[in-house]
Amino acid sequence: MKILFLVHRFPPSTGGTQTLAYNLATMFKKKGHSVTVYTSTHPDRPGFEIREDISIRRFKIRPSILSRFLKHPRYITPRMIPYLFSSDLQDVDLIHGFGYCTFQSLLATLTGKLRETPCILTPQYHPWGTIYANTAGIKVINSATKIIAQCKSEFKALSQYIEKSKIQIVPTGINSSRFRNLPENNLKEHFGIQDEKVILSVGKLASHKGTDILLKAISLLYHRFKARTKLLLIGTGQREDEYKTLAKRLGIQDFVAFLGRVDSSKLFEAYAAADVFAFPSLHESFGIALVEAAACGKPIVSTKVGVASDIIKDSENGFLCNSNDPLDLASKIIRVFENDSVSVKARENRNSVLTNYDWSIVLNKMEETYLKILG
pLDDT band at 80 (very low <50, low <70, confident <90, very high): very high
CATH superfamily placement of domain 2-173+358-374: Glycogen Phosphorylase B; (3.40.50.2000)
Q: What is the pLDDT of residue 184?
A: 77
Taking the domains of the chain in order of start, what are their residue ranges?
Answer: 2-173+358-374, 177-356
The predicted model gives 284-312 an average pLDDT of: 97
pLDDT above 90 as % of the chain = 82
The yes-or-no answer to whether 2-173+358-374 and 177-356 have a common fold is yes
Query: Would the CA dihedral through 275, 304, 281, 320 be positive or negative?
Result: negative
For the chain, the average pLDDT equals 93
pTM: 0.93
Non-local (6+) Cβ contacts of 332 within 8 A are 301, 319, 320, 321
For the chain, give the number of residues: 375
Tell me: the pLDDT tens digits for 119-143? 999 999 877 666 766 777 788 889 9
Q: What is the pLDDT of residue 192?
A: 83
Whether the per-residue pLDDT at 186 is higher than 80: the answer is no
Q: Residue 197's closest CA among 222, 169, 177?
A: 222
| Residues forming a β-bridge with 31 | none
Q: In which element (H, E) is residue 157 found?
A: helix 152-158
177-356 under CATH 1.10.260.40, yes or no: no
Non-local (6+) Cβ contacts of 112 within 8 A are 95, 118, 119, 143, 144, 145
Q: What is the pLDDT of residue 100?
A: 83
Whether the per-residue pLDDT at 176 is higher than 60: the answer is yes
Q: Residue 311's closest CA among 350, 363, 341, 362?
A: 350
Distance of CA 293 to CAs 83, 226, 271, 374, Å? 41, 26, 7, 36
Q: Which amino acid is at 28?
A: F
Query: Would the CA dihedral through 174, 19, 234, 313 be positive or negative?
Result: negative
Q: In which element (H, E) is residue 24 found?
A: helix 16-30
Tell me: the pLDDT tens digits for 235-261? 999 999 999 999 999 999 999 999 999
Q: Across the chain, which distance is largest between two alpha carbons, in Å?
A: 68
Is the Cβ–Cβ distance between 31 and 37 less than 8 Å? no
Tell me: the pLDDT tens digits for 192-248? 888 899 999 999 999 999 999 999 999 999 999 999 999 999 999 999 999 999 999
